[in-house]
Structure formats: structure tokens, C-alpha cells
Structure 1
């Protein structure tokens, strides 16, 4: 019988605890995903599935359902026992690329929404489009570097589930810091437009538009910041503690944002048909709603999509 020293025993206990913590986060993320589908499926079918095809509809489906791959791969990577390092390396690469693409799509949804706030101004569209493109291609190198430098080994004990990451490039931090900056930019643009155009408005549509957008931005910002802290402070085998949750949260919040807007706008259309006084919701024409515009005198007018 092999006797473990106190140091080895403590290391084993901490390794089991860390592996289970990651597993719990993966399970929690999958639970959030399934729960969202169960409560929003009817709304999604009526508001998204039967709507005309558009850029936003394509982005919605990509963001909504690509996370299935992420969840499946992360389950295989962190839940299985006696994990093969070669399989772990492949799974890790797939999960990294899939998560990156999924978050990029979610950020594009938020950018489309932010452009809508500015009346689909070409300057804003081209500016944010350029920022997003630079952000995507700029993060490609640290992601590739991270995948190439990641090293997996067998777990020190069969009691420890999941893959054992022993080495990885810290350059992955660049991706999350740049994500923080991108989301900060969109928060600033949203808050500025809300203050400038809709200060003091009590309209339900306008209030919900900005309330949900700003709240979701700050939720994503907080979770991204937490991921940065994990990368800076956690050991190598805990680097992806919040990756799955961050991916699912981006998909969930962005899709909820679109569903909420379409539901509110549908309510506005019904109220308008019945003679109610409801202001058109200020979102992109690609979302099939009206868009606000500001004339030279600083007054806001509504343009039909």
C-alpha cells in the first residue's frame, strides 16, 4: 500500500476540490442553458422563428445554439475520469475556438444594437465594425499561442476527474482585457445616447430598451472581469473555471435582449393599432423596428425601417 506524505495528501485534496469546482461551473452553465430554452422556447418561436430572415436572426441562432458544442466539449474535458492528455488537447482546442467565436457573435449582436441607438449612422456602423474586426483578428494570435503552448498531463490520481492543464500561455489574458475594453466602449456609447436623447422619458419602450441594455452590459462586464482575475490569480488547472459560464452568459443575455425588444415592439404595434399612444422603439431596421434620428435642431424624430 502506497503511503502519501502530508504534502502529497494536501495537494491531492486541493486538486480534487479544484476539479470538482470546474465541474460544478460546467453543470451550472448547462443548467442555465437548458432552463433558458425551457422558459423562452415559445417566445422564441413566435418572435424569431417566424420572422423574416435578417442579419440579426442569423446572429441570434448562431449565438443561441452554438453553445451546445461548448457545453458538450467542456463536459468531456472536465467531467470524465482517467482523461487522455491527447484527447484533452483536442477538446481544449475545440472549446477555445468555439467559445471565442460564440463570444464574438454575441459582441456583434451588441454592436448592431448600439449602432441602432445612433440611427444606424454610417460613422458609428463603420467605426464599431472596424473596432470589432480589429478586436477579432487582434485576438487570433494570442488564442493560437494559447492553444499551441497548452500542455496536458495525466491526473496524479484516478480520483481527480477531468483534464489536467499543467502549462499555458498567459497571453490569453489579452483576449479578456480587450473584451473588457470593447464592452466598456459600448456601455459608454449606450449611456451617452440614453442621457442625450431620452433623459426624463417615462415611455415603457424607451425605458426597457436602455434598462435592459445597460444592465446586461454590466453583467457581462462583471463576469469578464472575474475571468481576468481568475487568469491572474488562479493556478494553471483552474484557468478555464469561468469560461463556460462566460460563454453561456453572453449567449443568454444577448438573446434575451433581442427577445425582450421584439416582445415589447410587438406590444407597441398592437397598442398603436388600437389607438394607443406608444412611441416606436429605437432599434435597428434590421430588427424590423423603427429607428430614432436627431435632426439639425437637436429634436428626435422617428424613422420607419
Structure 2
């Protein structure tokens, strides 16, 4: 009798823990939506359509829809076993989908940090596909084996719980953690290279580059802690606790992924305003980098200058290169401000290169 009573108490406690954790993660998502709504309208909805805008909308509103659905199921009347089984499967795939969307956003930012380097892009995409496919395979196998049992509980009533969950389900998080570690290493490496460089490119462009690096590193540490917590809960917790960390992983992926986009767009807006003021005060002529030039072409031009200027002065003099007092890596104000923008909006000739969101 005492054993049965203990099982009932444990079941009730787990259900309330699940409900309160889902309510807490939902609060994070809704609160972030409210406090960033003005930035969303100004920086996203008023901008032209781009990959970044589409990712932002999907990441923001699919997560909001999932939050509403989760709370409807957990706090509403009991569902049938078939509906509950479909809900568990949808919830599992939603966790993976949210992580993938946020990782795509971060990869595009790192691609911008590495000056649209195709080798870096290929490496990130290959690692992303490998880790995502591995996690998807684990999720698919596990969800195909899960069944649902209706557990009658006092006060709460009938409650559907997953059963026959494989012991290796926790391995789902390992590929995701591995890929997050790779992205963080790339961001830290680029940050060290950036702030060690003494050339005017990085002295003048640290504001936006710093935001990119900061958001990448902060994103990693928060998400690493979240995913690691998910892994530990799935290893050490009961099967009734499997759903508890999923809500937080989805919420944090949504919030941080959106903040990465909003922060860079806000910085881009501030820099554009500064350019406008400088152009008005100095009466500049037409910007030579506008028109047919895309952001990719600008990056290539400036990267070439950096590579040339980084060669030893002696070698350049031996080749007969004429060196001025200000050296070849000195950029004009117009070039400098144009380079700093790292346009958040879609370029006019977007077909000529990768769109940096």
C-alpha cells in the first residue's frame, strides 16, 4: 500500500513539475516577444525580405505557436492515447527544429565574421548536416518505439505518459553539443584575431564585429548549459521528466537566435545614421562603393588589401612596390564606414553572393 501511495505521489509531483516548467519556459518566450516587439517592427517588418527576415519570423512565431499548443495540452483536458502519441512526436521534432533554425542563424553570422570565406562555409555546413542528421536519426528511432499509457492520478485526473523510452535517448543531445562547441571555437578564434589586429579596419569596425562575436559566445554558453541540462535530466531523471527540459531548449533557442538578428540590425541602423550625419557634415560625393557593388565584393576588396598589407615591408620593397607613408592598408572614411555596416538587409544584387542577414 505504501509503495502504491509513493508511486502516486511521485506521479503527481512529476506532472506538476512538467506543467510549471512548461509555464516558465513559455513565460520566457512571451516576455521576450513583448519587450522586443518595437525592435521587431522597426528592424524586421519594415525591412525588405531576406533570408534573415524569413528565419526570424519562423523562429519567432513557430516557437510561439508551439508554446500555445504545449500549454493547451498540459493544462487542458486529457487527450486520447493516439493524439498524445502524435503530440509527443511533434514535441520531439520541434526541439530539433528550433535548435537547427538557431544554428543556421549563427552560422550566417560567423560566415560574415570570416569575410564570406567559402572554405569556412563548407566546413560549417558539412558539420551541421552531419550533426543534425545524427540527432534526427536518434530522434526518429526513439519516437518510433515510444508508446503512450494513460495514468489515472488523484486531483489531476487521467494523464498520458510516454513509455518504452530507450535508454540511449540522451545521445540525441551529443551531436548538437558538439556542433555548438565548434561554432563557439570559431567565434572565439575570430575574436582573438580581430582584437589583436592593429590595422585601421579592425580599429574602426570593432563595434559591429564585437556584437557578432559577443552574441555568438553568449549564445553558446547559454545553449551549452541548456542542452547539457537536458542531457543530464534524460540520463538521471524518470521517463515522466523527459518533456521538462524540451520547453527550455526551444525557448532559449528562439530568444537567443532572435536577439542575434535584432542586435546586429540595431547596430547596422546606428551605423547607417552615423554615415548619414557624416555625409551631411562633410558634404561627401557619391559613395564609390554603392551601386553595382555587393557586400560580397566589398568584403573581397578589403580582404585583399589586408592580405597585401600584412606582408613584410621588406618583401614588398624587393618586389618594387611603392610604399606611401600611410601604407596601403589605410582606408578612406567612406570605405571604412561602408565596410563597417555588414548590411542586415538584402543587397540589391543578392544573386551575386550570399546574403548576410
The TM-score range, normalised by the shorter chain, is 0.7 to 0.9
Q: 1:75 to 1:237 in 2, by over 3 A?
A: same
Distance 1:297 1:229 in 2: 50
Contact 2:115–2:299 (8 Å) recurs in 1: no
| Corresponding residue number in structure 1 for 2:319 | none
Change (3 A) 1:77 1:296: farther
Distance of 1:112 and 1:171 partners within structure 2:
32
Q: CA deviation at 1:285?
A: 5.1
Query: Is the Cα contact below 8 Å between 1:135 and 1:178 reproduced in 2?
Result: yes
In structure 1, stretches of 5+ residues that fail to align are 277-283
Summarize the Cα distance change of 1:78–1:40 in structure 2 as closer, same or farther, 3 Å threshold: same
Question: May I ask how many residue pairs the two structures share in their alignment?
Answer: 292
| RMSD, matched Cα | 2.6
TM-score (normalised: structure 2): 0.75
1:130-154: CA deviation from partner (whole Å, max 9, x where unpaired): 2112222222221111111112111
Report matched runs for 1:163-178 at 5 Å.
Answer: 163-178=160-175
1:70 to 66, 74, 89: 66
SS in 2 for 1:154: strand
Answer whether contact 2:100 2:132 (CA < 8 A) is retained. yes
Deviation at 1:76, TM superposition (A): 3.9
C-alpha distance in structure 2 between counterparts of 1:12 and 1:81, whole Å: 19
Alpha carbons of 1:163 and 1:139: their partners in 2 closer, same or farther (altered >3 Å)? same
**Structure 1 residues 135, 269: closer, same or farther in 2, change over 3 A?**
same
The answer to whether the 8 Å contact 2:63/2:98 transfers is yes
Instruction: Provide the TM-score with structure 1 as the length reference.
Output: 0.87
| Residues 221-264 of structure 1: CA deviation (Å, up to 9, x unaligned) | 11011101011100111112110110111011010111011101
Uncovered stretches (5+) of structure 2, i.e. residues with no partner? 198-202, 280-293, 311-328, 344-357
In structure 2, the residue matched to 1:130 is: 126
Partner of 1:209: 212
Identify the match of residue 43 of structure 2 among 23, 47, 69: 47
Aligned match for 2:269, one of 266, 269, 279 = 266
Q: What SS does the corresponding residue of 2:162 show, helix, strand or coil?
A: strand
Aligned partners of 1:130, 1:296: CA distance in 2, in Å?
Answer: 31
